[in-house]
Amino acid sequence: MKPDFADIHEKTFCLDPAELENNIKPDTAVVLPVHFAGQPAEMKKISEIARKHGMFIIEDAAHAIGSKYENNQPVGSCCYSEMTVFSFHPVKTITTGEGGAITTNDKTLYEKLIMLRNHGLTKDPHKLKAQSSSPDVGPWYYEMQELGYNYRMTDIQAALGIGQLKKMDRFIKRRREIITRYNEAFKNLEWLTLQYERPGVFSALHLYVIRIDFERIGKTRTQVMNELKAKAIGTQVHYIPVHYQPYYQEHFGFKKGDYPKTEYYYQQCLSIPLFPKMTDDDVQRVIDAIEELGK
Ligand SMILES: Cc1ncc(COP(=O)(O)O)c(C=O)c1O
């Protein structure tokens, strides 16, 4: 299977439906939109395009647990897709240490996922290929029907996840409070572009990405990151475009220049601290340090 990409929307940084439509090949089978930074991609349009071309949709909601589409349905309800995948890595909105979850409304997919998670094994009497009357079949009997792996979440991780789920609304509320302060503080900085929120959708705000016109402030991104680090403020770049990565270039022939909007975004982006435990003083310290960059 060969991966392909379509460029992002210049404001939302999610898959641009128009780019998707222009990049469909006769053998394109699956669309994987990412809900970048928590903001739901334009799923209604994406699903209309996918249906028209007979494509399957898997939503990458690693950033978007707790987010909602414009129809007010939660991300993960699969109202536009066959499956939605979540990540519970420690930096995500909720965590189980590592691991994730997949949601689907399709019973066949659900049962297949259950099997793949457990080495491709089943004990379900309705699914066994052997006859139940066969002497080989008994209470011990199981069959390996697929090449699966051990993708099981431990009970300990699941217990942590249940505890985290109960706190999720509080976490998201705090994230929103913090970005409201950031947006207010930064709105008049001419060298900085705020993270755009598409009207009508609800973002759980996994990340807060500002865009900086580095030329205008006369500093490189490295200088900016180092200046902030010296003030004990961690920043990161989310992400280096996938088509820049050696694996994708060597195996599939992607090259710099293939996705101009993604590349333009990459030149300017910087994620600044956003996590529920930030105190009001922490937020103010970040605001002061960012404002200082342009002075
Ligand atoms: C958008 C996106 N998709 C997928 C993943 C992979 O998640 P995991 O590491 O839990 O498999 C990540 C991880 O950061 C991500 O940010």
> Looking at residues 168-183, what average pLDDT do you find?
98
238 CA from centroid of ligand 1 (Å) = 11
Task: Work out the mean pLDDT of the chain and round it to a whole number.
Answer: 97
Residues with CB under 6 A from ligand 1: 34, 60, 62-63, 87, 89, 100
Question: Which among 92, 282, 74 has a CA at the least distance from the CA of 206?
Answer: 92
For residue 1, pLDDT beyond 90: no
The reported pTM is 0.95
Structural tokens at position 74: 């939660």
Q: Is 92 one of the catalytic residues?
A: yes
Q: What is the pLDDT of residues 72-112, one digit of tens each?
A: 999 999 999 999 999 999 999 999 999 999 999 999 999 99
95 CA from centroid of ligand 1 (Å) = 12
Ligand 1 atom, smallest distance to 92 CA: 14
Residues contacting residue 90 through CB under 8 Å, at least 6 positions apart: 97, 98
Residue 256, pLDDT score: 97
Residue 30, pLDDT score: 97
259 CA from centroid of ligand 1 (Å) = 21
Question: Which among 197, 202, 222 has a CA at the least distance from the CA of 212?
Answer: 222
> Looking at residues 217-231, what average pLDDT do you find?
98
Atom 5 (ligand 1): residue with closest C-alpha? 62
CA distance 155 to 168: 20
Q: What is the pLDDT of residues 192-222, one digit of tens each?
A: 999 999 999 999 999 999 999 999 999 999 9
Residue to mutate (ligand 1; options 14, 35, 89; most atoms within 8 A of CB):
89
Residue 138's CB is within 10 A of a number of other CB atoms, namely: 8
- Please identify which of the residues 11, 45, 52, 92 carries the catalytic annotation: 92
